[in-house]
Amino acid sequence: MLLKQLLVPPFGTNCYIFGDEAAKLGAIVDPGGDAPGILSAVQDLGLEVRWIFLTHGHFDHTGAVEALRRELPGVTVFLHPDDRAKLGDELMPALSGTTDYDDGDMVGVGGLNVAVLHTPGHTPGGVTLKVGDTLFTGDTLFKGSMGRTDLPGGSYEAIMASLRRLGGLEGDFKVCPGHEGLSTLADERAGNYYMREAGT
């Protein structure tokens, strides 16, 4: 799997581009800003992007969606329905024409399978995307920390349940969070206070 991490404005969000190298098909995760930079990286990777996956609806993860949609005709933008229902509210700007995905859904990106795990807590519709041995955890799980739950729609109890679910996944995974550095699930199970509090 091809994978590139980009740090995008306005708040240092991790945007990821991943794809099937053989099929030359790719996807973007959480394009918070800097559409030109994202498009340049896509071109450098030689991928045709047909999918944008949003781990949640906050503006710092969605800010470049409309600009990218203009440059990538026919691209499908996925968002969990619990966050789609809140678009236009505080911190979640309106987006047109998103496609729902939910827990248990699978989306094919060339020969790659993207499994959707509903991991609410930071927002009601937060998701983690499992692609092979990689987890795109959005603002649910960070290196050594977790996402805030004091914003509108947040829930400490829900994010604890989500962390418990992630910690219970069999095996180890690369953790690609929405902010801060990369990690592994094994390291987070061992050293993340919030993962331990959640009972993983």
Task: Give the pLDDT mean for 132-149.
Answer: 98
Query: Alpha-carbon distance 169 to 187, whole Å?
Result: 13
The domain spanning residue 35 has which CATH number? 3.60.15.10
Task: Give the pLDDT mean for 60-78.
Answer: 97
Instruction: Please give the residue range of the domain that contains residue 96.
Output: 2-198
**Model confidence over 94-116: pLDDT tens digits?**
998 999 999 999 999 999 999 99
Position 149 pLDDT exceeds 90: yes
**Model confidence over 150-162: pLDDT tens digits?**
999 999 999 999 9
Residue 98 phi, psi (nearest 5): -80, 155
Query: Alpha-carbon distance 92 to 193, whole Å?
Result: 29
β-strand pairing of 127-131 with 145-146: unpaired
pLDDT band at 31 (very low <50, low <70, confident <90, very high): very high
DSSP letter for 167, please: H
In the prediction, which pLDDT does 200 show? 73
| Number of domains present in the structure of the chain | 1
**Angstrom distances, CA of residue 32 to CA of 9, 16, 74, 178, 187:** 7, 10, 19, 10, 27
**Model confidence over 8-17: pLDDT tens digits?**
999 999 999 9
Position 49 pLDDT exceeds 80: yes
Task: Give the pLDDT mean for 58-65.
Answer: 98
In the prediction, which pLDDT does 90 show? 86
Residues in a beta bridge with 115: 106, 130
Where do the DSSP E strands lie in 9-161? 13-20, 25-29, 48-53, 76-79, 99-100, 106-109, 112-118, 127-131, 134-138, 141-142, 145-146
To the nearest whole number, what is the mean pLDDT of the chain? 97
In the prediction, which pLDDT does 197 show? 95
